[in-house]
């Protein structure tokens, strides 16, 4: 079947570039739907969705937006309208993917549009600020694709045509290749770090699959946690095993590797049964290539690789993280169990390991229990999070809820 790609941009100023994208998609056998998000001028020829349609969807009108005399406010209204119309077009089965073109203004709008679509829908942003630190992590859709709009700020040329054609082919190819989610087996969402840090997933995933479940494991380094929370918010999981909650601390201490303020909340708010453990709760991850902030002077750290370094929190810091965990878990409307491995919460926190702190888990556990609602089941083990005993406890809780 032919796939239809929504093309979004300011057709008054970027008409040639947007029509070039449209031509590539059509030449490759795709269909297109065009959306104009310009404000001041009109495109050379009408688009399928006009700027007036977009403004109306943003609960305003073009004249009212112009009267704001503020390009920032104007684009926010257009972003709201474009997001609503994009979500509706997808819900009505009219589009299979979206591609958006822009500089900083267009990229600002593009981030909102991509967030309006569920995970699995191809989303492509062609931007002069792709991969830039200007883009806040909490506004980047978990599965968005970006390409730098190199040499294309004004007019077509051979360099920007290379980028535009790649983007057009990529979004159409993704729409053709993407496979719908198989819902024949209930889905479990699990969080874990890689096997040099955590190994429980090696035992838990096949054990849960043997029980008839599909298991998706998310890497909670910011974007992975966002994807996990997005799916939990959509009610896509039958249960979550949120066993690596480090992103709670990342957000609390201002790390750029944040999954957002709603980390550790969406499953609970949607009544999804959740088994939680504080994997790596005592670490804050920061970009390994950047100089450490003065905030971390005197802290122990571990260079995981050239991209990622982990800061070991103090016992006082752990109390803050524990209270944040409790606040979030207390919001849950479904079954919630917490498993506390007193022997350590990652491989670097074992006897003889560089970040071992034998008192840390005790302090975290005491602070957590002091704030935790009685509705949250408490399970405590002297084992390490990577020991078989920990996995047995998690599976026993799961079986009690779902098998027996």
* Tens-digit pLDDT profile for residues 127-168: 999 988 888 877 888 899 999 988 877 788 999 999 999 999
CA distances in angstroms from 397 to 268, 379, 402, listed in the order given: 17, 9, 9
Crossing angle (nearest 10°) for helices 360-371 and 315-329: 30
Which residue has 């939680």 as its token pair?
276
Where the chain has pLDDT below 70, the residues are 1, 181, 404
Give exposure, 181-211, as e/b (b: 16+ Cβ within 10 Å). eeeeeebbbbbbbeeebbbbbebbbebbeeb
**φ, ψ dihedrals at 279, nearest 5°:** -60, 125
Residues of the chain with CATH 3.40.50.12020: 4-177
Report the distance separating Cα 400 and Cα 35, nearest Å.
51
Report the distance separating Cα 387 and Cα 257, nearest Å.
28
Residues of the chain with CATH 3.40.50.12030: 187-402
Which residue has 């920007």 as its token pair?
160
126: Cβ–Cβ under 8 A, 6 or more apart, which residues? 21, 99, 100, 101, 102, 146, 147, 149, 163, 164, 167
Residue 325 three-state SS: helix
pLDDT value of residue 134: 87
**Cβ proximity of 37 and 9 under 8 Å:** yes
pLDDT value of residue 398: 98
43: Cβ–Cβ under 8 A, 6 or more apart, which residues? 11, 12, 15, 36
CA angle 93, 94, 98 (to 5 degrees): 110
What CATH architecture is 187-402?
3-Layer(aba) Sandwich (3.40)
Report the distance separating Cα 391 and Cα 397, nearest Å.
10
- What CATH superfamily is the domain 4-177? Uncharacterised protein family UPF0261, NN domain (3.40.50.12020)
Report the distance separating Cα 379 and Cα 370, nearest Å.
15
Report the distance separating Cα 327 and Cα 346, nearest Å.
23
* Tens-digit pLDDT profile for residues 7-23: 999 999 999 999 999 99
**Is the CA virtual torsion 247, 253, 257, 260 positive or negative?**
positive
**Tokens at residue 92, please?**
């009505």
pTM of the model: 0.84
H/E stretch holding 27:
helix 15-27
**Cβ proximity of 82 and 54 under 8 Å:** yes
pLDDT value of residue 142: 83
């Amino acid at each position: 079947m032919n796939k239809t790609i929504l093309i979004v941009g300011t057709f008054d100023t970027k008409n040639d570039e947007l029509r070039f994208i449209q031509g590539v998609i059509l030449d490759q056998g795709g269909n297109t739907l065009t959306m104009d998000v310009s404000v001041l001028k009109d495109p050379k020829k009408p688009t399928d969705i006009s700027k007036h349609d977009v403004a109306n969807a943003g609960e305003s009108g073009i004249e009212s937006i112009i009267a704001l005399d503020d390009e920032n406010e104007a684009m926010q209204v257009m972003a709201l309208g474009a997001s609503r119309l994009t979500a509706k077009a997808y819900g009505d089965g009219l589009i299979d993917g979206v591609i958006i073109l822009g500089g900083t203004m267009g990229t600002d709008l593009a981030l909102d549009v991509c967030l309006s679509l569920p995970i699995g829908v191809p989303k492509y942003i062609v931007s002069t600020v792709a991969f830039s630190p200007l883009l806040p992590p909490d506004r980047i859709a978990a599965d968005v694709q970006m390409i730098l709009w190199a040499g294309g700020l004004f007019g077509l040329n051979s360099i920007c045509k290379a980028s535009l054609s790649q983007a057009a082919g990529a979004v159409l190819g993704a729409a053709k290749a993407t496979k719908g989610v198989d819902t024949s087996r209930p889905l479990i969402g699990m969080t874990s770090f890689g096997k040099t840090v955590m190994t429980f997933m090696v035992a838990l995933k096949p054990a849960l699959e043997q029980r008839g479940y599909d298991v998706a494991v998310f890497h909670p380094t910011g974007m992975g946690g966002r994807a996990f929370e997005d799916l939990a918010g959509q009610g896509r999981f039958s249960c979550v095993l949120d066993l690596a909650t480090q992103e709670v601390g990342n957000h609390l201490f201002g790390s750029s590797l944040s999954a957002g303020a709603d980390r550790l909340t969406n499953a609970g708010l949607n009544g999804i049964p959740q088994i939680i453990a504080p994997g790596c709760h005592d670490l804050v991850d920061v970009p390994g290539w950047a100089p450490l902030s003065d905030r971390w002077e005197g802290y122990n750290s571990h260079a995981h690789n050239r991209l990622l370094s982990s800061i070991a929190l103090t016992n006082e810091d752990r109390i803050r993280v524990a209270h944040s965990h409790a606040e979030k878990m207390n919001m849950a409307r479904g079954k919630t169990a917490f498993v506390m491995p007193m022997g350590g919460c990652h491989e670097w926190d074992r006897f003889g390991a560089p970040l071992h702190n034998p008192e840390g888990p005790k302090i975290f556990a005491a602070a957590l229990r002091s704030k935790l609602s009685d509705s949250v089941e408490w399970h405590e083990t002297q084992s390490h999070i990577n020991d078989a005993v920990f996995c047995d406890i998690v599976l026993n809780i799961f079986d009690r809820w779902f098998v027996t």
